[in-house]
Amino acid sequence: MKFLRDQLDKIKPLTAKNPFLHTAYDAFETFLFAPKTVTSGAGVHIRDGLDLKRTMVSVVLALQLCLLFGIFNIGHQHFAAYGLFTGYTDGLLYKILYGLFQLLPIIIVTHVVGLGIEFYFASKKGHAVEEGFLVSGMLIPLIMPPDLPLWMLALSVAFAVVIAKEAFGGTGMNLLNIALTARVFVFFAYPTDISGDTVWVSYDYNILHKLFGLDALTAGKSLIDGFSGATPLALAAKGGWEAVTQQYSVAQMFWGDIPGSVGEMCKPAIIAGVIMLIVTGIGSWQIMLSMVAGLLVTGFIFNGVASAIPDAAPFLAVPFYYHLIMGSFLFAMAYMATDPVTATQTQTGKWVYGFMIGVVGMIVRVMNPAYPEGWMLAILFMNVFAPLIDHFVIEANIKRRLKRSHA
């Protein structure tokens, strides 16, 4: 490490005259080493070992199980579509490599575009590169379809970083969640590439087939009969819970053996990340718990409506507790709703904010026939109202204190 430190010290003067090179150097140096500049010992200072970089890295670490399972599931769903390696562990190496070759370009494009824009704005402003994109750069690949065209991904990342982040002042100043802004851009600009039954499974042959001679195995092979790539939510929107259970079991939905976004399928992996976020204090358990409550209450009301109205939409009759493991609810709850920048800051506000996401998300999921999922839109909607919620909470606290002081 001393050798690396010495080499960096030699390079530093060479970058001083070029703002972009200096910004790049500073980002690389602070990623490897803690900054030497610290506050003086005099006066009152808050000292904590958990800085912004460590906070972001902790979230990235919490995502690793979702990432690893997502890589496997891309390959598993691909081969299952062609009736190959249908067992969970059959062709395990092929599945992992296929998923890796499919996901790696998505991760690379996300980081090259996102970090490139961040470096540019940092050099123009004359300050260090901020670490906020570490999390967004990992979340964006995990919430996209596995075969999303790379040029489309690049556009969505550029839009999210420039419009939803840098336009507001950079890390810590954005009003909307960056990763969800990228996804909502694709959803509205290119709806056929992020909705429907076929987008959640990668059917293309990538370099793996040529490297391992799988072309002969898959040549002339078409999709197996009855395979549609439909997600449980798409099935529920058309035929209710009965249609879901005809194709998928509860165990499959829990363990993630279903088509869907890359990192949102495996519920045990997400729960492990939730535990890490809560233990480290990075994710708000109040927002998570209240979001679960909002989903359950709204789902229970929908079940009551379905019982009272025989010809109600079949999605209303899906047992409310199964909504917890359908779709991307748990992933959105853990990694999107708890974003400390775009969520509410007051303790009471966190309960209101999380509960309303649960309510709004369920309304969009069940009542919107064109989009049987709701957490992306619900969280972005509540991002906008988060400052207003905090404002009313603070005003209520001020009024209560004034009453006590007058008394």
Residue 33 is predicted with a pLDDT of 60
Query: Is the model more confident about 244 or about 166?
Result: 244
Which range, of 161-170, 205-214, 359-368, averages the lowest pLDDT?
A: 205-214
Q: What DSSP string runs through 199-239?
A: TTS--S--HHHHHTTTHHHHTT--PPTT-----HHHHHHHH
Q: Give the list of residues 6+ apart from residue 241 with CB closer than 8 angstroms, or none.
A: 314, 317, 318, 319, 322
Question: pLDDT tier at 359 (50, 70, 90 boundaries)?
Answer: very high
At residue 20, does pLDDT exceed 60?
A: no
Spans of all domains in the chain:
18-33+52-215, 249-401
Residue 292 is predicted with a pLDDT of 97
- Segment 219-257, tens digit of pLDDT: 555 666 666 678 899 889 888 999 999 999 999 999 999
At residue 99, does pLDDT exceed 80?
A: yes
Which range, of 117-126, 174-183, 398-407, averages the lowest pLDDT?
A: 117-126
Which range, of 297-311, 347-361, 366-380, averages the lowest pLDDT?
A: 366-380
The helix (run of H) or strand (run of E) holding residue 247 is helix 232-247
Helices 92-125 and 150-164 meet at what angle, rounded to 10?
Answer: 40
Query: Is the model more confident about 394 or about 218?
Result: 394
Q: Helix or strand or coil: residue 407? A: coil
- Segment 320-343, tens digit of pLDDT: 999 999 989 999 999 999 998 899
At residue 116, does pLDDT exceed 60?
A: yes
- Segment 27-76, tens digit of pLDDT: 556 656 666 666 665 655 555 555 666 777 888 899 999 999 999 999 99
Q: Compute the 3-state secondary structure of the chain and give helix, strand, coil in percent, each to the nearest 5.
A: 65, 0, 35
> What are the structure tokens assigned to 193, written together?
């590439």
Residue 222 is predicted with a pLDDT of 61
At residue 357, does pLDDT exceed 70?
A: yes
Residue 89 is predicted with a pLDDT of 87
Question: pLDDT tier at 214 (50, 70, 90 boundaries)?
Answer: low
pTM to 2 decimal places: 0.86
- Distances in whole angstroms, Cα of residue 191 to Cα of each of 152, 187, 198, 210, 215: 11, 5, 12, 32, 32
Cβ of 252: how many Cβ atoms within 10 Å? 14
